[in-house]
Amino acid sequence: MRCPLCSNLENRVLESRAADGGHSVRRRRECLNPACGHRFTTYERIDTVPITILKRDGRRESFDRNKIISGLQRACDKTSLSFDQVEEITSLVEATLQKMANRDIPSTEIGELVLQHLRSLNEVAYIRFASVYSQFQSIQDFMVIVRQMQTSPEAETEG
């Protein structure tokens, strides 16, 4: 690893620890150039194969976790869910996608994964996310999902 100040390639690791929920390693390093001695941080992550999302209209685009975060933040606005919980849901969904053998994943599958995690945390956020994801057009669409929530076993939620 090259020192960011003097570009020396020789350094030593002072400390290593897991970061990002165990998906990366954070290392504190010290440059071994006697004239420098700069301390800096590096992160080591597994290089994953990119995931391609198949949109409803047939387009393909690269997976972007920020889109999930953005959608969840809108759905969770003024609810009891924290940003940390939004991040956790996003990380769980992303980890599930990384484990899939197929790298071309329909956007509908991502929406379903988000809903699975969201339902047990907050009913209001679940309905909000479902209304956008499922493209609700009428009050009937809302009533159908509320009835499903009332009659299915997972209806036990904290929200």
**Count of structural domains, the chain:** 2
Q: Check whether residue 27 and residue 62 sit in a common domain.
A: no
Q: According to the model, what pLDDT value does residue 157 have? A: 42
pLDDT band (50, 70, 90) for residue 154: low
Q: Check whether residue 145 and residue 84 sit in a common domain.
A: yes
Residue 5 is assigned to a structural domain of this protein: no
The reported pTM is 0.62
Residue 125 is assigned to a structural domain of this protein: yes
Q: Check whether residue 70 and residue 139 sit in a common domain.
A: yes
Give CA–CA dist 104/60, Å, rounded.
8
Q: According to the model, what pLDDT value does residue 104 have? A: 87
Give CA–CA dist 134/38, Å, rounded.
53
Q: What is the pLDDT of residues 127-146, one digit of tens each?
A: 888 888 778 888 888 888 88
Q: What is the pLDDT of residues 68-110, one digit of tens each?
A: 999 999 888 888 888 889 988 998 998 898 888 777 899 889 9
Q: Check whether residue 24 and residue 73 sit in a common domain.
A: no
Q: Which domain holds residue 65?
A: 52-154
